[in-house]
Amino acid sequence: MTTCPSDETIAALVEGALVEDERGALELHIAGCPACAAIVAELARLVAPDEAAAATATIGRYELAGPLGSGGMGLVLEAFDPLLARRVAVKIVRPDRPLARARLLAEARGLALLADPHILTLHDVVDSERGVCLVTELVDGDPADVWCRRTRPTWPQVQALYLQVARGLVAVHARGLLHRDVKPANVFVGRDGRARLGDFGLVGDGTAALGGTPGFMAPEQAAGAPIDVRADQFGLAMAMIHAVAGTVVPAGTAAAALPRTIPAAAREVLARAIAVRPNDRFDRVADLASALEAPQRRWRLAAAGLGLAAIAAIAVLAWPVAPPVVAEPEVVAPEVAGADESTLLVAWTEAMHENDADRCAVVVTGLVAIDKEKYEGHRAICEMLAGRCKAGVAMLSPAVRAAAASTVFDYCPADGDIPEERADRALGQGKRGRSPAACADRATWVTTLAGTPEDAEKFAMNAIQCFAGIGDCAAAREQAGVLAKLRATTPALELARVAAECDR
């Protein structure tokens, strides 16, 4: 679809009156057309209140609140779970949509088999007088297509987001399942930056092509031929291209024809992933993810194990306790003079992704000029990116230095680059850590570094992953108990979600 649809067609979409193929083509157009997206949102707002009012005040134990969205399958409402004192999302199937009911049940069964931080969490399924209702976590954020229109992300931000989705897909495929409909509208981006893959209405363990969305469907899926994990890989790569280009490209598009805002090495990877023939793609989604990350695999602290989230947490809580070693002037560098805080934070994140210590130091001068107390500690991270680990650690506050020293020096034992083989081992372990001391550090962060409940949950999850990564499942179970208390759930549930290898 190259032209905008009529108002009648958009209304039919909102009312659920379009057949599958028409709906898929229209959704693809809307994903790249802000004007049509705004019309759909307004129509959904007008339609949804009538449907919501028709619903009873509760479904099961869930107290219904306002509508979150409306479409061909039915209505999605925000609700409150009084038993666990948390907000949830309730997806209600339209009673006159038997196919939608079957898809919702398929989605529930698929989600019930999966436990991963990057997959939408299923809480409950309710069979009420209104039909089957799916109760999931309520993501405080936006679908990825909306997120892209709102934030206009850079390539490093797009890659970081969709590498999380890749990890979720790896978990799906590890269960012998296929998602079959990977697209931006089915990726939910939380305010915490965590991506969750949702809408498992087409999930299954067979090779049948089933539905999907034109543009994001692999050619073999669109043709109704048998598919495998490489079809999901196609959708993932196309979603990444869409995030940068604002539209999809034809299957088989060469790397040279992809947007130049994507680095050359990444264009080659994406071009392979959207090849027309499945045999020309990567064998697994994990291979695609590894190929995208490969250019960054030179040793730096950010790429060697702590990850951006942990580094940023340390930086926010840091302040210099010794004369700074970073050789930037105290005045703002000309390159960033006049830039606002949000622009500088994006530039700082990009410097972290690219392991660019010089750019990090330049950007920090602008941040420090805006809020010295808040951003002075970021200088420590620039030092570590430059390979001056001891100097960077010395710039942290005593409390943070004590909490993080074992983790830092586990990856950064001395100034300068570490041997390549050690870097490979560190990268292989990733956020899971490499030593009991590093994991023990992370276990303390829940109480020593966390400034908010959200931070505490992140650090608890990180500790579980760390202990599981070194095979200490007893310690991982103990940390799962900590996370369960924070989330008002059970240790077994949290262990299954975060470290399934210990849930045996």
For 84-117, b/e burial (b = at least 16 CB within 10 A) is eeeebbbbbbbeebeebbebbbbbbebbebbbbb
Collapsing DSSP to helix, strand or coil, 325 comes out as: coil
Cβ 498 vs Cβ 486: under 8 Å: no
The 3-state secondary structure of 132-199 reads EEEEEECCCEEEHHHHHHHHCCCHHHHHHHHHHHHHHHHHHHHCCCECCCCCHHHEEEECCCCEEECC
Distances 497 to 80, 121, 165, 494, 500 between C-alpha atoms, Å: 22, 9, 15, 5, 6
In whole angstroms, give the CA distance from residue 300 to residue 181: 36
Collapsing DSSP to helix, strand or coil, 74 comes out as: strand
Residue 18: phi and psi, rounded to 5, are -90, 150
Place of tokens 């970021």: 378
Q: Cα 325 from chain centroid? A: 35
Length of the chain equals: 504
Q: Residue 10 contacts by C-beta under 8 Å, 6 or more apart in sequence? A: 26, 36, 39, 40, 43
* Position 91, amino acid: K
374 annotated to a ligand binding site: no
Structure tokens at 240: 């990444």
* Position 228, amino acid: D
Burial of 363 (0-12, 13-18, 19+ CB in 10 A): buried
Number of CB atoms found within 10 A of residue 402's CB: 13
Could you say which of 81, 116, 145, 181 is catalytic?
181
Collapsing DSSP to helix, strand or coil, 351 comes out as: helix
The answer to whether 181 is a known catalytic residue is yes
Q: Which residues are annotated as a binding site?
A: 91
Q: Which residues are annotated as a binding site for ATP?
A: 91
Catalytic positions are 181
